[in-house]
Chains A and B, each alone.
Chain A
Amino acid sequence: MKPPAVGYARAGDVQEVVAMLVEHGTDAKVLAGGQSLVPMLSFRQIRPSFLVDINRVEALDFVRDEGESLLLGATTRQRDVETSPVAAAAVPLLPELLGHVGHVTNRNRGTVGGSLAHADPAAELPTLVTALGGELLVEGPRGPRTVAADDFFVAPHRTSMGFDEVLTAVRLPRLPAGTGVAIQQIARRHGDLAVVGVLAAVRLGPDGAINLVRLAASGVGPVPVRLHAVEAALTGVVPTTEVLDAAAEAVSAAVRPPDDIHAPASYRRDMACLLLKRAVGAALRRSEVSA
């Protein structure tokens, strides 16, 4: 199908984006890389009356090392982040994680902000910002504000941003040296959205016990799920096979996966448990003992 007729304007800076969103109200949508929005328009799943194109807002296209964190501008192409040495130095998982986002051609167009604002519960960047406890930088008519990842994702394809707000950047905390990070996911085909996935970051202390752990799962609920209870169970413990088995069991209680044509809820739950073990195991192999 073809998209319906829709109004369109290209914004030059963030103030102009916000002004256009205010002017056109709840029927306007922000257009960035268009890798999700344009197919949805063509399928007529959504019928916005107006598109605000932010592709030429150059101030939002950047990869910035802030020392304690990495700041990625909303219109930065996913492929640019994937191949950025600055991004890889601050968040070493990024190239591998972005390799799971569609295909290279999608990532050449697709933006960091677009994936986050689209808020698919199975998508990789929302899972990463959830796992790391990152922040989303949002701008609206009342000025800029910062939203914690846990407060940003509300429901499938819904965020806590107002209709007149635009995502400008995402802040990903840098994990301490020696932390191993890994992502494990199951997709029906290469490049498809994951059916279920788990992201794990783990660091071991000199006594062999875990002294830092961050866990999030995708595709197992309305939003990416930070696995706080499982993190608590693993903190301060030497990660033996028995400990990981028990942690995987705990995942089962922490997720409420959906049923759909690609997989029943029970399969997603079982695979989340399995992938937790694999992701923590892979993260452990990448970690280095910290002093």
Chain B
Amino acid sequence: MLVDGQLAGGLAQAMGGALLEELVYDEDGRLHTGSFRDYLLPTASDIPPFRFFHQETPAPDIPGGMKGVGEAGTIAGVSLVASAIDDALRDHGVTVTRFPVTPPRLLAQIREAAGKGGAR
């Protein structure tokens, strides 16, 4: 339960980084997303329910066999979202290379790929 909670929190952070959270600076170096009104954190209603499956690998060389787990959701999560988008848009030849993946940015990428003849 503790580990699942850690993973869920990490995944929520990953989804925020993949889809929402962005530090937007203008040409003069001023931050335009300096409050939580503009810097979009995922809220409870933006996070889907998770199901967890664990593969345990013992750590015999660590006293007590302890391992860190909190970042497991975060680190892989961002690229997992990107991989899922790449897979969904395979027919369009779109590869996500920049985060967060915002709707306007993704639409522009799809159109750019279509312009290059990447679309089916």
CB-CB nearest in chain A for B32? A261
Decide if B43 touches A191 in the complex (CB within 8 Å). Answer: yes
Cβ of B87 within 8 Å of any chain A Cβ, yes or no, is no
Decide if B103 touches A189 in the complex (CB within 8 Å). Answer: no
Decide if A189 touches B20 in the complex (CB within 8 Å). Answer: yes
- Among B4-12, B34-42, B64-72, B77-85, the stretch that binds chain A is B34-42
Q: In residues 165-192 of chain A, which contact B (Cβ within 8 Å)?
A: 186, 188-192
For the complex, give the distance between the alpha carbons of A261 and B40 in Å: 11
Q: A189-B43, A190-B46, A261-B32 are in contact. Are A270 and B107 (CB under 8 A)?
A: yes
Decide if A261 touches B42 in the complex (CB within 8 Å). Answer: no
Interface of chain A, main secondary structure: loop
Residues of B within 8 A of A189 (CB): 20, 40, 42-43, 45-46
Q: How many residues of B contact A (CB 8 A)?
A: 18
For the complex, give the distance between the alpha carbons of A192 and B39 in Å: 12
Cβ of A43 within 8 Å of any chain B Cβ, yes or no, is yes
For the complex, give the distance between the alpha carbons of A43 and B37 in Å: 10
Q: Which of A43, A191, A192, A267 contacts B104 (CB 8 A)?
A: A267
Q: How many residues of A contact B (CB 8 A)?
A: 15
CB-CB nearest in chain B for A193? B37
Residues of A within 8 A of B40 (CB): 188-189, 192
Decide if A263 touches B104 in the complex (CB within 8 Å). Answer: yes
A residues near B (Cβ < 8 Å) are 39, 43, 103, 186, 188-192, 261-264, 267, 270
19 new A-B contacts, CB < 8 A, other than A189-B20, A263-B104, are: A39-B37, A43-B35, A103-B45, A186-B103, A188-B20, A188-B40, A189-B42, A189-B43, A190-B43, A190-B45, A190-B46, A191-B45, A192-B40, A261-B24, A261-B32, A261-B33, A262-B102, A267-B107, A270-B107
